[in-house]
């Protein structure tokens, strides 16, 4: 019997890539995002059984509806991919409005928390008990970019959510993974200004290399297919600059190779 996964933010970028990869791997995929037309385009590219549920995952009532429709359609849930996210404003910290910070936290953190709550309820009650949650973190949870405080704050919070829910879910056969993704050419990359080069700590703009999104999709499929007695708390996937001798450059910072 095919397993069931919910992918949020599935209308574009990493969400779309991962949803299609999971579908091609035989998963029943439930897609969610605010943009209905784009969401349906993703669904058309998924060869396996697919359910599209458009809506806003920052809305608690919609989140309940999303999970209720999933159970009504497929009868169970095996994996949740908390992928929905926004980059937020790129400007000096002192110029950031509270409303801008709140928006980033609502999409990147609160929505993931709400979806995690509903997934926990299902995972605890279904037979066999358990399931897996994958949270889309970021290299910014370790190495922030200049002028991106709201995004970095939100992704550090996602790390806390990952660790806390992994601990709380252990006795219920629930395991949680955070995937921290480097430069992939998606809509979010465009919003970060990668077209003109990425802002570095020294004020320069440098064109940074990208990895093929296919590798991210393949990684999500691998994590989703792991048995629940295998934990993968955190995984980083990024471009490595091979030309340097003792360090590699990631997101514009020189990081020792031993980190990887």
Long-range contacts of 201-207 (CB under 8 A, 24+ apart): 201/146, 201/252, 201/253, 206/252
Q: By the 8 A CB rule, do 213 and 184 touch?
A: yes
Map tokens 């290399």 to a residue: 209
Q: By the 8 A CB rule, do 145 and 198 touch?
A: yes
**Dist CA 2 CA 92 (whole Å):** 48
Structure tokens at 61: 């009532």
CA 94 and chain centroid, separation: 28
**Dist CA 219 CA 109 (whole Å):** 22
Residue among 6, 151, 120 at smallest CA distance from 70: 6
**172 labelled catalytic:** no
Half-sphere exposure of residue 82, counting CA atoms within 13 Å on the CB side? Answer: 35
**Dist CA 35 CA 84 (whole Å):** 12
**DSSP element (H, E) containing 39:** helix 36-44
**Dist CA 54 CA 8 (whole Å):** 10
Residue among 182, 191, 96 at smallest CA distance from 141: 182
Annotated catalytic residue: which of 151, 205, 239, 260? Answer: 151
What are the catalytic residues? 151
């Amino acid at each position: 019997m095919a397993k069931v996964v919910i992918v949020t933010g599935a209308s574009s970028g990493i969400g779309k890539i991962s949803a299609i990869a999971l579908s091609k791997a035989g998963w029943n995929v439930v897609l969610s995002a605010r943009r209905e037309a784009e969401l349906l385009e993703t669904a058309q590219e998924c060869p396996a059984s697919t359910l599209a549920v458009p809506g806003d995952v920052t809305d608690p009532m919609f989140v309940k509806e999303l999970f209720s429709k999933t159970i009504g359609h497929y009868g169970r849930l095996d994996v949740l991919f908390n992928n929905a996210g926004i980059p937020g404003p790129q400007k000096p910290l002192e110029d950031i409005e509270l409303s801008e910070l709140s928006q980033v936290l609502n999409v990147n953190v609160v929505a993931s928390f709400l979806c995690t709550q509903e997934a926990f309820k299902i995972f605890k009650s279904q037979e066999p008990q358990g399931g897996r949650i994958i949270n889309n973190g970021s290299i910014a949870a370790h190495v922030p970019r200049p002028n991106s405080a709201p995004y970095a704050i939100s992704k550090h919070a996602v790390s806390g959510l990952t660790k806390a829910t992994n601990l709380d879910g252990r006795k219920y056969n629930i395991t949680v993974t955070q995937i921290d993704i480097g430069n992939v050419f998606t809509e979010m990359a465009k919003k970060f200004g990668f077209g003109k080069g990425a802002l570095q700590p020294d004020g320069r703009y440098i064109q940074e290399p990208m990895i093929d999104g296919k590798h991210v999709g393949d990684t999500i499929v691998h994590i989703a297919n792991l048995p629940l007695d295998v934990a993968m708390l955190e995984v980083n996937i990024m471009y490595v600059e091979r030309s340097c001798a003792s360090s590699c450059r990631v997101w514009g910072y020189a990081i020792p190779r031993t980190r990887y």
